[in-house]
Amino acid sequence: MNLYPPITVKEIAARYNAKVIGDENQVITGLNEINNTKAGDITFVDHEKYYTKALESNASIIIINKEVPQPNAKALIVHENPFLIYNELAKEYQPFCFAAKAIAENALIGEGTKIFPNVFVGDNVRIGKNCIIYPGVVIYPYSEIFDDVIIHANTSIGSDAFYYKKDSSGYNKMHTAGKAVIESKVEIGSNCTIDAGVSDETRIGEGTKIDSQVHVGHDVKVGKNCIFAAHVGIAGNTTIGNNVTLWGKVGVNKNITIGDGAIVMATSAVPKSLEGGKTYLGIPVNEVRAAAKELILIKKLPEMWEKFKNL
């Protein structure tokens, strides 16, 4: 997310009595978690496992819990609790919005859009033209919905990211400072949940059709003209290409990519990235022909075992 107005490294360090390595006058123009950073962004890291990823990211400023050599042109803010600083900044620039009305006064709703009773539309929401929003739909603050979108009953758009940091006191929630974006001609079934990005956006591409009871996690990017059947679950920060089909009860892991035109058959599990243009099946998935051969062999195992025992 972008920071308006920008803030300097020096100002943050002074607030938290932190040490600066690098240019303390560097201006911070955005805040993002490691996977979505760009030049001018601040991010945080507090585990050595992710030091390299953070230091080599596109972020210009990194809050870190240990002194390390300064990466080229980056500024480091050294503090014992980087998560605290990051979370406080997120809350400051995109604070929690309490709503006293069902449809916020500053929500922008396009011509021809039909909103049924018992719909909630939060602050700073933008809805395009000729949409249909059925009863019970909840559209969280900052969400964006383009033209000709249909959202069926009791679906949630832009709910908080499922992102927690565990310590000795339990689970500390990362403040959601991103949003959900639904492009034109998307249809979303009943009882679906589309989470907002942690600090960037979750995006559903133009023309995609989503069945009922589907969950899309934080920062997921879905391409154009995809089809997701009921009970599909997609974990955070995954990228799905154009014209991808996920049939019922497919589970997709976090931080992976599914290529254009891929088809994943029902009840399959996708633990790693998949090439486009192929059909997949199984737990974990394999190309459909190989998966079919595996199933045939599994069915023959009792017979093979009996023959083996008699050798």
User: Do 86 and 118 share a domain, yes or no?
Assistant: no
> What confidence category does residue 165 fall into, taking pLDDT thresholds of 50, 70 and 90?
confident
Flag the least confident range among 71-85, 114-128, 144-158, 211-225.
71-85
User: Do 162 and 236 share a domain, yes or no?
Assistant: yes
Q: Is residue 219 part of a domain?
A: yes
User: Do 117 and 260 share a domain, yes or no?
Assistant: yes
Tell me how many domains the chain contains: 2
Q: Is residue 221 part of a domain?
A: yes
Q: Is residue 268 part of a domain?
A: yes
User: Do 82 and 33 share a domain, yes or no?
Assistant: yes
- CA 18 to CA 236: how far, in whole Å? 31
> What confidence category does residue 285 fall into, taking pLDDT thresholds of 50, 70 and 90?
very high
Residue-level pLDDT at 296: 77
Strands 164-167 and 170-173: antiparallel
User: Do 70 and 127 share a domain, yes or no?
Assistant: no
User: Do 89 and 126 share a domain, yes or no?
Assistant: no
310 has pLDDT over 80: no
Q: Is residue 292 part of a domain?
A: no
- CA 24 to CA 11: how far, in whole Å? 8
Range of the domain at 45: 2-93
User: Do 113 and 89 share a domain, yes or no?
Assistant: no
Q: Is residue 304 part of a domain?
A: no
Q: Which active-site residues does the annotation give?
A: 218
Q: Is residue 256 part of a domain?
A: yes
User: Do 69 and 168 share a domain, yes or no?
Assistant: no
User: Do 128 and 182 share a domain, yes or no?
Assistant: yes
Q: Is residue 299 part of a domain?
A: no
User: Do 187 and 259 share a domain, yes or no?
Assistant: yes
Nearest to 200 by CA among 182, 180, 172, 184: 180
Residue-level pLDDT at 114: 98
- CA 251 to CA 229: how far, in whole Å? 11
Q: Is residue 176 part of a domain?
A: yes
